[in-house]
Structure 1
């Protein structure tokens, strides 16, 4: 069966994509993901903070030796090997992986401000990245920050990167906007070629024995897929950008549900970390078998259960909410 998929204008052999994570930190890991069956690989993220620290280090070096004169030919400052710095390592990884990978390699930039780190997008493009994924991980802790300011920052970052590169740009964003749908439409208008729904905020917990905040990363579970599926079903047909689903993918059934909601591609890291890179083929085969059993093509299934473009999404979602409460009464009693 033909599972060929268009994502960001790129032609993928299937819609299962390895999202940014620990399996894509080496050329060998990226090749293993490709051999495992994914349609594309998003490389682990390069952070704005890493680039800022490197820029500050170079500034300190320049300042330290700015009074040296040309005749001091016997003096050369000790400069660390450039390969030791995150940006140089990352660029080399993209370059090497793009040369040997059988699937598109997508670079990932993680940042929250409009600044010089954005220029790195052009370097990633030049290194061979097929596309750039912007992971805008912004938690506005300043209580004076308005929702409009948060949204405007996202738009400005996307606009700045789009002006810097010619390769496609996807935006990975969180669901925590006052109106996620409007934010997606604004990013679409700003030129985003893809929307990745959704980022998972790594919220801290509390250790009651040590009396301190503790942070950590947990792998996603299928229950977390309901929120991104809902918004993909709403956005399908209303934005030009490709729609990528991420979070909560564990089985072929999860992939199928996202496709039915309208996702162009379905991304996963958690399932591949749990089961290995080769598990991607299980997801692909499971999707293929289901389509065959239903007599459907991939394009026929994609968006089959999205909210119809002519329907009122507000009324549709409200009706679903009321219906869910009515069904729950038979199990739990009245919940309201």
Structure 2
């Protein structure tokens, strides 16, 4: 049988399928079901910068409310706003219990867009047993005067701050909506990123013309969405030292195979596992295994990156040629489009 073992972020995985951050990794039972389903690693759901900031603000308020109390008043509970269960403590507890419950790597996920206490929290994730940390940098520059370089610099700044806090591997999950994504990917690689996860999905609001309002929501990804991350993975393969993870659009084993051929070290999925259940992971892995055997590959490593842009090629010209070729094919089918 083909060898499916994979190295990702310096971690040894039994196969290249990773359950990305999502609703199935919000409980120990969920993490266990994903491991039993066959994935090589699990990324816990994301802990948000805003949650940690809210906790810090609440702690300060509580401390200030108690400053004027005398010792004999210790049994008195001050009147402060109600606060939900400590998000950070619950996350750390989930992480510790998940690590103890499964025999595959458990990766913690932090979602933020600025520096602050959430960066320092990375060390607590390491202490709780995380095999690695995935930084989900969800940075939407709503200020139209913000320069592209400032946005890119912030990504590098956040990575360096987290790397200074921990010894475990750190991956960065990125958006494609940047002025020169390839150059930023290389900057992050040089700044010490152990992995790059392509791509984050921005929430795109919809307008309801009946209620005349803006509605937000998140739809499960479709296989078509895998084309953009695979394009960039193919361009980055061999040009960065960081591991490459493809996420979005993984629904069938064919999608996993395409990511690997493009040069991804692992393929990540949440939508497919939500849509079909954790056991769907086994179907994805079995499909990959059968394809490798049918094509005569002894291992995943033997076929990884076969369709990446050759290291010595002019990547810009390569992509341009693909664009022109696609238009020519479209012209044959639909007539002139330009």
TM interval, shorter chain, is over 0.9
Note the alpha carbon deviations across 1:215-268, whole angstroms, 9 max, x for none: 001000011111000000000001010000000011100000000000000000
Contact 1:82 1:88 in 2 (8 A): no
Please tell me whether residue 116 in structure 1 is matched to residue 117 in structure 2: yes
| Equivalent residue, structure 1, for 2:316 | 314
Partner of 1:330: 332
Q: Following superposition, which runs of at least 4 residues in structure 1 exceed 4 angstroms of deviation? A: 76-83
Q: Which segment is superposed worse, 77-86 or 63-72?
A: 77-86
CA distance in 2, matches of 1:80, 1:122: 29
Q: Helix, strand or coil for the counterpart of 1:267?
A: strand
| In structure 2, C-alpha distance between the alignment counterparts of 1:81 and 1:40, rounded to whole Å | 37
User: What CA distance in whole angstroms lies between the structure 1 residues aligned with 2:190 and 2:65?
Assistant: 46
Contact 2:58 2:83 in 1 (8 A): no
Residue of structure 1 in register with 2:106 after alignment: 105
CA deviations over 1:151-208 (Å, ceiling 9, x no partner): 0100000000000001100000000011111111011111110000000001000000
State the SS of the aligned residue for 1:300.
Answer: coil
Aligned residue in 2 for 1:16: 17
For structure 1, the 5+ residue unaligned runs are none
Task: Tell me the SS of whatever aligns to 1:60.
Answer: helix
Q: Which residue of 2 aligns with 1:50?
A: 51
Alpha-carbon distance in structure 2 between the residues aligned to 1:325 and 1:73: 75
Q: How many residues of Structure 1 are paired with residues of Structure 2 in the alignment?
A: 336
Q: 3-state SS of the aligned residue for 2:31?
A: helix
Equivalence for 1:132: 133
Distance in 1, matches of 2:74 and 2:214, equals 53
Q: 2:269 maps to which residue?
A: 268
Tell me the distance in 1 between the aligned counterparts of 2:7 and 2:78: 50
Q: Secondary structure at the match of 2:330?
A: helix
Task: Work out the CA distance in 2 between the residues paired with 1:236 and 1:131.
Answer: 21
Residues 277-316 of structure 1 aligned to structure 2 (within 5 Å): 277-296=278-297, 297-316=299-318
Residue of structure 2 in register with 1:37 after alignment? 38
- SS of structure 2 residue aligned to 1:243: strand
SS in 1 for 2:182: helix
Shift, 1:4, TM fit: 0.5
Distance in 1, Cα, partners of 2:46 & 2:75? 41
> Does structure 1 retain, via aligned residues, the 8 Å contact 2:39–2:281?
yes
CA contact (8 A) 1:5 1:11 kept: yes
1:78 CA drift (Å):
7.8
**Which aligned pairs between 1:159-238 and structure 2 lie closer than 5 A?**
159-238=160-239
Q: What is the match of residue 252 of structure 2? A: 251
For residue 2 of structure 1, report the CA deviation from its aligned partner: 1.4
